[in-house]
């Protein structure tokens, strides 16, 4: 049984957001509830990994990297299809968020493969792009196929199940040595989008690159995330879902809960644990299904908490 690393959940003062450091979590499953603004987390066994309660639930899928292939990760289309099948085998989520890197190289055949797997799934899927989806054409191919509901620059919001969802794009115009960025125009959109909303409305914000600095030397963070978080500070329940780093890392800062998802294609090393962030090279045989997976999130009715469960594709 893996153990979570020591962390400081629920001890943060909501008024202080000065140290957005990373927190590692290594586990087979994670149940995470936010009750009355006080987040709590607990490791759960896979036997318990079921959507708690009834009502509204949604799922997160990330980093399918269709088109990627190495001997160790030789069929990412198959593992991604497995992830979708797993989602459909349980209580069907009301909707699915794909947090980017749908494809590996933004190539037409890869977008076709994505439509084959996601488009025919029967699931309602909302996408934001990863940097691998906007290569060479500034995202034109991606937005044509997966930009439904989004403006031309890829950001949008919608309401479902009593939750306000906001999809952001932090993968454009990355600068040398820099992190992800939202940019002034997108921050203005966020400000206007939130302005007239009640502070008691649960917010789920999703974007590809983490909105806190997980590991700056690898570019795992968003340089103007602080400004976005400032706009969210008055809300009582904020859940931020990201991908990009192909592993589960979660953190709680005041009323804001951060969570990154596993990939459905290949795992990446823990921040700074190897010379480069390239795919894990020494994965023991037979462990692939334990390092790929999906995330389910439920809104537990009545108390406005969200519960998050990460489920690997297998043990």
Partner 1 sequence: MTAKPWCRRSLIAGWGIVLAFSAKRTEAATATIVIDDYLFMPAELRVSIGTTVVWENRDSSPHNVLSVADPRVFRSRAMATGERFEFTFAAPGTYGYFCGLHPHMQGFVVVE
Q: Binding of partner 1 at residue 131 (CB under 8 A)? A: yes
**Nearest approach, Cβ of 106 to partner 1 (angstroms)?**
7
Catalogue the long-range contacts made by 217-223 (C-beta closer than 8 Å, 24 or more residues apart).
217/272, 218/271, 218/272, 218/277, 219/174, 219/178, 219/179, 219/180, 220/179, 220/244, 220/245, 220/271, 220/277, 221/179, 221/180, 222/170, 222/179, 222/180, 222/181, 222/182, 223/178, 223/179, 223/180, 223/181
Binding mask 61-100 for partner 1 (x = CB under 8 A): ---------x------------------------------
Question: Which of the stretches 11-19, 103-111, 238-246, 289-297 binds partner 1 when contact is defined by CB under 8 A?
Answer: 103-111
Question: Which of the stretches 21-29, 75-83, 211-219, 248-256 binds partner 1 when contact is defined by CB under 8 A?
Answer: 211-219
Return the number of the residue (59 or 179) whose C-beta is nearest partner 1: 179
Return the number of the residue (196 or 282) whose C-beta is nearest partner 1: 282
Tell me phi and psi for residue 175, to 5 degrees. Answer: -105, 155
**Nearest approach, Cβ of 134 to partner 1 (angstroms)?**
9
Nearest to 253 by CA among 31, 58, 37, 33: 37
Q: Binding of partner 1 at residue 267 (CB under 8 A)? A: no
Q: Binding of partner 1 at residue 135 (CB under 8 A)? A: yes
Q: Binding of partner 1 at residue 219 (CB under 8 A)? A: yes
Binding-site size for partner 1 (CB under 8 A) equals: 26
Q: Residue 162 and residue 182: Cα distance in Å, rounded? A: 26
Residue whose tokens read 């191919």: 141
Q: CA distances (Å), 269 to each of 19, 102, 128, 157, in order?
A: 23, 20, 23, 32
Site for partner 1 in 268-287 (CB under 8 A): 274-279, 281-282, 284
Site residues for partner 1 per CB under 8 A: 70, 104-106, 131-132, 135-136, 174-179, 217-219, 274-279, 281-282, 284
């Amino acid at each position: 049984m893996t153990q979570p690393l020591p962390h400081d959940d629920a001890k943060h003062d909501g008024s202080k957001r000065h140290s957005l450091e990373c927190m590692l979590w290594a586990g087979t499953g994670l149940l995470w509830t936010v009750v009355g603004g006080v987040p709590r987390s607990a490791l759960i066994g896979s036997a318990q990994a079921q959507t708690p309660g009834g009502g509204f639930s949604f799922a997160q899928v990330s980093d399918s990297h269709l088109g990627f292939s190495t001997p160790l990760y030789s069929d990412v289309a198959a593992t991604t299809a497995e992830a979708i099948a797993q989602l459909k085998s349980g209580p069907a989520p009301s909707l699915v968020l794909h947090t980017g890197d749908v494809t590996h190289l933004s190539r037409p055949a890869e977008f076709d493969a994505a439509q084959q797997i996601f488009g025919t799934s029967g699931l309602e899927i909302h996408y934001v792009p990863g940097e691998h989806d906007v290569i060479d054409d500034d995202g034109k191919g991606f937005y044509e196929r997966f930009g439904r509901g989004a403006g031309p620059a890829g950001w949008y919001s919608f309401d479902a199940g009593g939750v306000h969802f906001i999809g952001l794009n932090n993968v454009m115009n990355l600068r040398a040595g820099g992190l992800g960025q939202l940019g002034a125009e997108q921050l203005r959109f966020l400000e206007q989008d939130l302005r007239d909303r009640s502070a008691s409305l649960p917010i789920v914000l999703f974007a590809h690159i983490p909105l806190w600095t997980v590991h700056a030397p690898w570019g795992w963070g968003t340089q103007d995330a602080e400004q976005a978080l400032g706009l969210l500070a008055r809300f009582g329940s904020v859940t931020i879902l990201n991908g990009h780093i192909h592993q589960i890392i979660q953190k709680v800062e005041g009323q804001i809960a951060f969570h990154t998802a596993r990939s459905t294609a290949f795992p990446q090393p823990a921040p700074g644990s190897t010379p480069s962030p390239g795919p894990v090279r020494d994965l023991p045989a037979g462990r692939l299904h334990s390092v790929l997976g999906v995330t389910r999130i439920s809104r537990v009715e009545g108390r406005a908490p969200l519960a998050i469960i990460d489920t690997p594709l297998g043990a």
